[in-house]
Structure 1
Amino acid sequence: MSEKKIKDTKNILNDKELEFKRAKESNRADKIIKAIKEISSNLPNIDFHQLPQEVSDFIPVDIIVSELFGSLQSKSITKEQSNIDLQVIKSYTTKLNYVHRLLTLNNKVAWISNFEMTTLSKINIDDKIRTVKNISVQVYDMSLTASKDMLLSLSGSTDVSLLTTKTGEIKPFLSVSPLIPLGIHVTKHNEIILGVMEEGGTYNLTDKSCRKVILFGMDGIQKQSYEYDKHKQRLFTVPIRITSNVSNDILVINRTSDYDGRVVVLDRERHVKWTYQGHPQVNSGNKLFNPQDIVTTSVGHVIVNDFIRQAFHVLSGEGNVLTCKVMEDMEIIYPWSLDIDTEGQLWVGCESEDAKSCDAKLHTVKFS
C-alpha cells in the first residue's frame, strides 16, 4: 500500500471514529447499531487473497517467554476443514425488528426475545411462525434447564430469574448482587455458568471493576469463579455469551468494545486453552470481529456469528478454523442469535435489513 493511500485511509478512519463517538454519546442502541452498519459499509476496501492451503496456528512452547506469548507456525488445512458446509434449509419472517435471543425446544417450537420491544415469545414453527405466548420482559440472555424451564438474566436486575414455562411465572432464582448478570448457560451436567459485571461498568476497566464468570450448582451454591488467569491478568472485559462443549470447557464471548470481541475458552482449572479474534480473510485491518452468539455441536465444533461481517466462523474444539463463511449470499443478514435444535439443525435469528421494520428473519441451516 502506498504512503498516500495509507494517509487517505487514516483520514477516512478518523472521520468514521468521530461518527461513531457521536452515535455512542446518544446512549441509544438503535443509533449506535445504525452507525456501525453505515460505517462498516463505507469503509475503505481492502483486497483479500483467496484462503491459502495452510493457516497460522498459535503454538505455545516450553521456555518461559514463549509460554507467555507463544509463536505463530504454519499448519496445513485438514480434510475435515475443507468439508464443512452450511446451507439454508428454510427461512421464516417474525414480527420483530431483530431476534435478540433464541432457544429451540425442538425443531418445531422455540422461544425468541427482543430486548428493545421488551418481549419474550414462545413460537410454533411449521410453514410459518405462530406465536402462542407473549411475556413482557426485557431479556438480556436465557438458557434452558433440564426441566425445560428457563433461567433469565434481565436488564437492570442483580438476580437470575426462573421462568416456569407452563405457567409463565417469573421469580428470582439466585442473586449476584451487587453485580449484574450477563451471559447465562446451563450445562448438560445441570450447572449454571454466569457472566457478571459491576453495575454501571464500561469497557474501560479500573481496579474496582469486577468482570468474571461464575459456576453455580442448580442449588444456587457457587462452585468456582473465573476472573484472572494464572499470570494475574484479567480474563474478561464484558462476558456477554457463554456455552460449554463436550470436553466440559467454558466458552465465552468477551466483548472488548461496542464493535469488537473475541472468544475465550477455559478449562475448569482457569487455564486459557485458546482464544479466537476472527479470520484474516474477513476481519483483517479495520474490519473487526463482532461476535454476538456462540454454540457448540455434539462433536465439539464451535460456531460463532459475526454480526457486522454477516459471517459464520466454524472452529474445531481445539480452536482451529474449519471454515469462515459470509452468509449474505444465502440471505442471512445481520445474524444476532444462534441455537442448535434436537435434530442438529442450526437456527439463526437475525435483524431486519431496515432496523425499523418488524420483519426480522429466522433461518434453519444445515450444518455438515
Structure 2
Amino acid sequence: MQSMATSTKSSSIRKAQVTVSCFFCKGQEIKWTCVDCNVRMCNSCKITVHQGLQCSQDHDVISIQDIIQSSPSSQEVMSVVIASVFNSYTTTLPAVHTLLCSDDGLIYYTFCHIPSKGNQFVKGKLFKSSIKILQTLKRNVFDIAINKDGEILMKEFDVSTIQIISHVGEVKTVLDTTPMILLAIHVNKDNEVIVSLREQGPPFPVQDFSVRQVIIFNSDYQRKFTLEFDKKGNKLFSYALHIRTDSKNVVYVVDCFDRQKNGRIVAVDRNGCIKFIYDGQNRLGTFKPYAITVTQSDNIVVADYSNDALHVINSNGHLLGLQFICIDLGITEPYSLCFDTEGYLLIGCGKAKHENYGKIHVAKITDSLM
C-alpha cells in the first residue's frame, strides 16, 4: 500500500521555518515564563504587556533563572531546546504514539487506542512535502524497536510476546514472557533486547509483592541481566513505560506512578545501581514523561506531556534545557521522540484542536545540547 500523508509546510525540511522568541514581541531573549498562561516572554513584554492584562494580575510568573537554580548542581542551563522547526507532517493517524527512524532513513510509527479504533503500524519515508507510506498493518502496537538487521520488533497491547516484522512483511514471534506481562521493548547499540515486565493483575497501586523488572537479553533472547531492586532492596521501577540506552549502555526508563502517567526518569547501570532519578521541575507541577530519546553526546531528551515541554538532562541527571513547545512552536501533545540519520529530532504528536490527525515535526536541537 502506497499513499501520502501531507506536510503542513511546502518548503524544504532543511530550511528553518520556526524560531524561538518572546511570545509577544517575537524578537527578544526569553527571560520569564507565566505558569498560568504557559507563555514565555522577554523582560520588556513582561512589564509592558503581560502585567497590563487584567486577567494576569494573580498569575505566577517565574524567571528562567529561577527554574535553572531549582535544578540541583546545575550551573549552566540552556533555556531553549529547539533552535528551529524545519517541517511538520500531518499523518493519517489520530496520534503518533511511537516513532522510530532506521539507519536507511525509513520511519516507523504507530497509533494504539483502547478500545481498538483505527490502530495501525506504519512504515514510511519523509519527503519534502509529504510522508510516503510504504506499508501499513492494522495492529494494536504498543511499542516498537529496531535490531541490527533492520528488523522491526513489535509488542502489541495486552500481548506478552515480541514479534518481528521482516523486510517482506512476514510476522513471527521470537519471545514470549508469559505469565509476566510485557510492557516496553528496546534494542541497544550491542543488539541486546531490553524489555520491561510486571506481574499479572492491576498495575496500580504497586504493592510489596509486585514484580517490576527490566530484563536485558542477548540477540538470541537469552537472559543476561535482571534489573529490579537497588542495593537497599527497594524496587527500582513502578511501571516501566519506555526504555532507552546511551553509548555506555546506561538504561533510562520512563517510570510511571499511576494510571494518569505521572512519573519520573530512572537511570540505572547494568548492575542495577541508580545513576540518577529525574522528577521534572517542581515549579512546573505535574511531570508526565511520555517519551524519551538520547542524543549523540548522551544527553537525554524527555517529552513532558503535562506541560507540552521538552526537558534535556545530561548523563548525571542535571537539567540542560527546558522549552515549552506548545507556546513557543505550536507543537502540542508530544507522545514520541527519536532522532533521524542526520541528527534531526522527530516529534510525534496527537491531533491539535480542530484537527483530525496527529503530526510529526522535524526539529533542530540547539547545538550545545546535541
TM-score by length of 2: 0.77
Superposed CA deviations along residues 126-169 of structure 1, whole A, max 9, x for unmatched, are 111121211111111111000110111111212111111x2211
Secondary structure of the corresponding residue to residue 65 of structure 2: coil
Unpaired segments ≥5 residues, structure 1: 1-39, 59-74
Query: 8 Å contact 2:80–2:322 — kept in the other structure?
Result: no
Aligned in 2, Cα 1:224/1:128: closer, same or farther, shift over 3 Å? same
**1:96-136 residue CA offsets vs partner (Å, 9 max, x unmatched):** 11001111125852111110222101112111112121111
Contact kept? 2:238, 2:256, Cα under 8 Å: yes
Q: Distance in 2 between matches of 1:172 and 1:104?
A: 22
3-state SS of paired residue (1:209): coil
Q: Residue 130 of structure 1: which of 129, 132, 137 is its match?
A: 132
Q: Distance in 1 between matches of 2:207 and 2:357?
A: 41
Runs of 4+ in 1 over 4 A off after TM superposition: 82-85
Q: CA deviation at 1:55?
A: 2.4
Q: Mark the CA change 1:198 to 1:86 in structure 2 (over 3 Å): closer, same or farther.
A: farther
Q: 1:307: Cα distance to partner? A: 1.1
Amino acid at match of 1:251: Y
Partner of 2:16: none
Matches within 5 A, 1:190-229: 190-229=191-230
Corresponding position: 1:112 with 2:114: no
- After superposition, residues 12-161 of structure 1 pair within 5 angstroms as 47-52=60-65, 55-56=69-70, 75=73, 77-78=75-76, 81=78, 85-105=82-102, 108-116=105-113, 117-126=118-127, 127-161=129-163
Amino acid at match of 2:98: R
Q: 2:267 touches 2:274 (CA, 8 Å); kept in 1?
A: yes
Residues 152 and 161 in structure 1, CA contact (< 8 A), matched pair in contact too: yes
User: Aligned partners of 2:203, 2:357: CA distance in 1, in Å?
Assistant: 32
Shift of 1:301: 0.8
SS at match of 1:49: strand
What amino acid sits opposite 1:100 in the alignment? Answer: H
Question: Which residue is equivalent to 2:325?
Answer: 327
Would the alpha carbon gap of residues 265 and 306 (structure 1) be closer, same or farther in structure 2, given more than 3 Å must change? same
Give the alignment's Cα RMSD to 1 decimal.
2.0
Matched positions, count:
302
TM-score (norm 1): 0.78
Give the structure with the higher percent helix. 1
Structure 2: 5+ residue stretches without partners: 1-37, 39-57
Q: What code does the residue aligned with 2:69 have?
A: V
CA contact (8 A) 2:78 2:322 kept: no
Q: Whose relative contact order is higher, 1 or 2, with alpha carbons under 8 Å and at least 6 apart?
A: 2
Encode CA deviations 1:10-32: one digit per residue, 9 max, x unaligned: xxxxxxxxxxxxxxxxxxxxxxx
Go from structure 1 to structure 2 and tell me whether the alpha carbon gap of 1:242 and 1:300 turns closer, same or farther (over 3 Å shift).
same
